[in-house]
Amino acid sequence: MYGDFNFFDIKTSIQENIKAQEKFLKSFESMMDVKENQANQTAREIVFEEDKLKLFHYKKSAAYVSKVPTLIIYALVNTPSMMDIGQEKSFIKKLVDSGLDVYLIEWGFPTQEDKYLTLDDYINIYIDDCVEYIKKENKVDKINLLGVCQGGTFSLMYTALHSDKIKNIVTMVTPVDFSTDDGLLFRWGKYLNPDRMVEAYGVVPGEFMNTGFLTLKPISLMVNKYVDVINDLDEPDHLSNFMTMEKWIFDSPGQAGMAYKDFLNSMYKENKLCKGEMEVAGKKVDLKKITQPVLNLYAEKDNQVPNQATIPMKDLVGSKDYTAKGFPTGHIGMFVSGRSQREVAPTVVEWLKKRSR
């Protein structure tokens, strides 16, 4: 009827259907066996607590450990667990195994009783109390800071206000100049009304934050993410790591109202830190007072913190020992990729060790 054309090859169709079913069954079996959480497996203990905050200390695993402890300060949005996903890919484990003495702040999940927390509380109380604990415990006068994203902005502000307590500072994917429109989040942030959100919620819910941020993601990225999982099911622990990342993305803490409002208004709307106009508890935050060595690491393909928000740091701080380095990866790739293990973490370790003697 159709000559030499074969529009419907029943045999091929059946074979492809069988293969598809086999792959589905294999995927189902893999999902049944997957471990629920691959995060935070590097050995650690809680050494200090204050309100919702927990300070963790990682068990030393190297023959030689730096005498100057390093405190990691993460953003208030999301949790720092993505820095310790899977022991083969863990950024934190790489730091610890390479000889750094690592501490980490977990901010916890604010409740309504925390709605009046301010930037002063986070910087001059919570961070400062952790720094003082680490100094006393290790009998040192100064420690290193490693700040990530908004946590890097906090680290810069803390160092400017408490310069005598910090020896070196590392910032990773950290915004300082919020005037750029290169990036949806930075364009979007200028038109938010945090005052109304805080008036409505008190503590801005993590679910609200997720809904807002996820609307900025192209649908193709969301779809391709799941396609990649099916294609990579044969890789050991890939699905476990993926599920852990999914949990990390959606398991977002709420935002304490006053601090959230102050940060968005001061940074995204008025760019006060970059202009030298930022004040915390009545004290001006002058980044020129940061004369410590500074290592500024950024992701060249970052779609969350554009390079234009990070690179200007060089002209804002007062350090004469300033190093900036970009890596050809994305925001999260700085912590969970093969490049993170091969290049990013070793860069942090080598730089800090040279300046922590």
* 209, pLDDT greater than 70: no
Amino acid at 49: E
What does the buried/exposed string (b/e) look like for 182-196 if buried means 16 or more CB atoms within 10 Å of the residue's CB? ebbbbeebeeeebee
| Residue-level pLDDT at 286 | 97
pTM: predicted TM-score of the whole model, two decimal places = 0.83
Q: What is the pLDDT of residues 277-298, one digit of tens each?
A: 999 999 999 999 999 999 999 9
Measure the CA–CA gap between 307 and 314, rounded to whole angstroms: 12
> How many helices (H) and strands (E) are present in the chain, helices listed first?
17, 12
Average pLDDT over all residues of the chain: 84
**R_g of the chain, CA atoms, integer Å:** 23
Mean pLDDT across the stretch 321-347?
A: 93
Instruction: Spot the catalytic one: 149, 170, 258, 278.
Output: 149
* 119, pLDDT greater than 90: yes
Distance of CA 211 to the CA centre of its chain: 19
Quickly state the pLDDT bin for 144 (edges 50, 70, 90): very high
Among 77-86, 124-133, 164-173, the minimum mean pLDDT is found in 77-86
SS3 assignment, position 57: strand
- 33-39, long-range: CB < 8 A, 24+ apart: 34/239, 34/240, 34/243, 35/240, 36/243, 37/243, 37/244, 37/247, 38/85, 38/86, 38/237, 38/240, 38/241, 38/243, 38/244, 39/81, 39/82, 39/84, 39/85, 39/244, 39/247, 39/248
Q: What is the pLDDT of residues 226-281, one digit of tens each?
A: 443 444 444 445 555 566 666 666 678 899 999 999 999 999 999 999 999 999 99
| Residue-level pLDDT at 117 | 97
Measure the CA–CA gap between 184 and 272, rounded to whole angstroms: 20
Neighbours of 30 (CB within 10 A): 16
Residue 323, beta-bridge partner list: 295
Q: What are the φ and ψ backbone dihedral angles of 19, each rounded to 5 degrees?
A: -60, -40
* 67, pLDDT greater than 60: yes
327: its two tokens: 């890596």
Q: Is 149 a known active-site residue? A: yes
| Residue-level pLDDT at 218 | 40
